[in-house]
Amino acid sequence: MLRKLTGSPDCKNGTCPTLWATEDEKNYIVQGYVVADPERLAQLALPEGEMAVVVPAAMLEEYFNARG
């Protein structure tokens, strides 16, 4: 089962960007807004099977500041 670590502090509806830990805590899953801009996707040159998402900086800062 995934464990929710933190979510976007500006979230109003509960389905916003979120950081999750996997069961074994060896990996993270990031929920965010899919990058659909062709120019940005070209810069990333993602291989097949990968997807890029946008995550608010405040969400990650909140998580890492709480750990530190």
pLDDT at 36: 96
Which tens digits make up the pLDDT trace of 1-49?
999 998 877 788 878 899 999 999 899 999 999 999 999 999 999 999 9
Which residue, among 25, 31, 33, 32, has the nearest Cα to 67 in the 3D structure?
25
According to the model, what pLDDT value does residue 23 have?
A: 96
Which pLDDT score, from 0 to 100, does residue 30 have?
93
pLDDT number for residue 24: 95
Task: Indicate the domain borders of the chain.
Answer: 3-67
pLDDT value, residue 32 = 93
DSSP secondary structure letters along the chain: --EEEEE-TT-SSS-S-EEEE-TTSS-EEEE-EE---HHHHHHHTPPTT---EE--HHHHHHHHHHH-
**Cβ-contact 17, 40 below 8 angstroms:** no
